[in-house]
Amino acid sequence: MNLMEYQGKELFRRAGIPVPRGAHCGTAEDAAAFVAQNPGDWVVKAQVLVGGRGKAGGIKFAGTPEEARARANEILQLVIKNRQNPQGEPVRSLLVEAKLPIAREAYCAIAIDRTTKRPVVMVSKFGGMDIEEVAEQHPESIAKFFVNTAIGYSPFIGRTLAFAAGLDAGYRKQLPSILAGLYDLFFKYGAKLVEINPLVLTSDGQVFASDAKVELDDDALYKNPEFKVWQQTLPLDGDETLATQAGLGIRNFRRFDGNVGTMANGAGLAMGTMDAVRNAGGNFANFLDVGGGANAERVRSCYELIVNHTGAKSLFINIFGGITRCDEVAKGIVEALETTKSRKVPLVIRLTGTNEELGRKILAGAGMTPVETMDEGAAAAVRLTQ
């Protein structure tokens, strides 16, 4: 679950991270009324989940209620596009925020490093740029610290990174406490990424999070029921809406034009399954990562999602039993097919890993013939569509 800027900044406030004064506004009249009640210089920002809103005209300045109304109306008519989302996302709401006297811009973030299996704290003096661009053009500028979670975050980490990244001296006193807030937020809310870009140093020596990018792990949302309300306000496309209705993460399902349905546990295995279908001469109908805990209810909802909303003529279920046991998946498949009211399509099932032999016996007892390799399964699924 990706948060809008105003939502991310609400979490920043709770964590003690300084953010500019502002208000979330749904209409141009709301923006004008806020500025009327709070005279000053303001920035009107489009609230979207796609990047590049500044270049697209989604950030404008206003000093009066009339200007705020006019700028807000202009922004609310935009559909902001980028390389990741060429269709674009319409602007449905705004953040009206105090204009800062910017002297310097920096970057800081916390994410998970899969190699070390630790949170990595990153700081760079090149704020305002995409981190991918910074990594390509100025790789030496990104200072990193891999945190031992048994020990946790300490202020020396922030001081070390401030010097290692070559930040302006004005950042050094405040950066340790800002990173401490990010670290607490990261674990309290089950985040996969927390990012401030830019982290602004003002001309009078204050430091503010001028932007907020927060990505939460869907599997941790149950810890904070309030996020369900936020989730309902997020802009979801058709596939993301279907995924949430099926109990999946918004990125766990995507439709394509082929006729071989695919279901796997784990995004990497799901993409590998799609590649195997293509290598076998077929065309995949979808991407679907069923995630962990593939019980009967989850398998049935995913089966129905695929057969009801794609052109699948066959379905290749490819499960690696690590955390998920193959026998439980097999029981789920059998029960799902017995209880579903959706149309039936031929199944090809590959189970490998924990309790795989028991899983195959369960499938065989239900009259299903599982395959042993991914390529074998992909080829069989392609043949069943012909």
What is the pLDDT at residue 79? 93
Question: What own/partner pairs with CB < 8 Å and gap ≥ 24 does 50-54 have?
Answer: 50/80, 50/81, 50/82, 50/84, 50/85, 50/88, 50/89, 51/82, 51/84, 51/130, 52/80, 52/81, 52/82, 53/80
Determine if residue 16 is left, alpha or beta; phi over 0 gives left, psi from -120 to 50 gives alpha, anything else beta: left
89, 105, 195, 356: the catalytic one is 195
Across the chain, what does the average pLDDT equal?
A: 91
What's the CATH number where 276 sits?
A: 3.40.50.261
Residue bearing the bigger pLDDT, 57 or 234:
57
- Does the annotation mark 107 as catalytic? yes
6, 107, 171, 183: the catalytic one is 107
What is the arithmetic mean of pLDDT over 359-386? 89
What is the arithmetic mean of pLDDT over 72-88? 88
pLDDT band for position 134 (cuts 50, 70, 90): confident
Could you tell me if 47 and 158 lie in one domain? Answer: no
What is the pLDDT at residue 339? 81
Domain-ending residue, one of 235, 250, 276? 235
Domain-ending residue, one of 99, 131, 148? 99
Radius of gyration, CA atoms only, the chain: 24
pLDDT band for position 69 (cuts 50, 70, 90): very high
Could you tell me if 85 and 212 lie in one domain? Answer: no
What is the arithmetic mean of pLDDT over 367-372? 81
Could you tell me if 116 and 94 lie in one domain? Answer: no
CB count within 10 Å of CB 154 equals 14
What is the pLDDT at residue 279? 97
pLDDT band for position 109 (cuts 50, 70, 90): very high
What is the arithmetic mean of pLDDT over 199-211? 97
What's the CATH number where 41 sits?
A: 3.30.1490.20
Could you tell me if 121 and 29 lie in one domain? Answer: no
pLDDT band for position 55 (cuts 50, 70, 90): confident
Residue 98 has pLDDT above 70, yes or no: yes
DSSP symbols for 10-68: HHHHHTT-----EEEESSHHHHHHHHHHS-S-EEEEE--SSS-TTTTT-EEEESSHHHH
What is the pLDDT at residue 128? 85
Q: Structurally, how many domains does the chain consist of?
A: 3
Range of lowest pLDDT (74-78, 165-169, 322-326, 372-376): 322-326
CB count within 10 Å of CB 281 equals 11
| 8 Å CB contact between 130 and 124 | no
Give the chain's length. 386
pLDDT band for position 295 (cuts 50, 70, 90): low
What's the CATH number where 188 sits?
A: 3.30.470.20
pLDDT band for position 294 (cuts 50, 70, 90): low
Residue 57 CB-half CA count within 13 A? 11
pLDDT band for position 247 (cuts 50, 70, 90): confident
Give CA angle at 35 (29, 41), nearest 5°: 135
Nearest to 54 by CA among 211, 270, 161: 211
d(CA 261, CA 148): 41
Could you tell me if 149 and 295 lie in one domain? Answer: no
- Does the annotation mark 132 as catalytic? no
Domain-ending residue, one of 50, 84, 99? 99
Residue bearing the bigger pLDDT, 322 or 147:
147
Residue 292 has pLDDT above 70, yes or no: no
d(CA 61, CA 98): 10
Could you tell me if 246 and 293 lie in one domain? Answer: yes
Output phi, psi for 280, to 5 deg: -85, 5
Q: Residues of the chain with pLDDT > 90: what percent? A: 65
Could you tell me if 30 and 12 lie in one domain? Answer: no
Could you tell me if 9 and 123 lie in one domain? Answer: yes
State the alpha helices, DSSP H only, in the chain: 5-14, 28-37, 65-76, 131-137, 155-164, 169-172, 175-188, 226-233, 238-245, 267-279, 296-309, 326-339, 356-365, 374-383
Range of lowest pLDDT (42-51, 104-113, 310-319, 366-375): 366-375
Nearest to 193 by CA among 90, 114, 134, 252: 114
Could you tell me if 112 and 1 lie in one domain? Answer: yes
pLDDT band for position 367 (cuts 50, 70, 90): confident
What is the arithmetic mean of pLDDT over 169-198? 96
Nearest to 46 by CA among 66, 69, 24, 67: 24
Could you tell me if 105 and 214 lie in one domain? Answer: yes
Could you tell me if 230 and 135 lie in one domain? Answer: yes
Q: What is the DSSP letter of 222?
A: G
Could you tell me if 53 and 193 lie in one domain? Answer: no
Residue 284 has pLDDT above 80, yes or no: yes
pLDDT band for position 323 (cuts 50, 70, 90): low
Whole domain around residue 28: which residue ranges?
21-99
What is the pLDDT at residue 331? 84
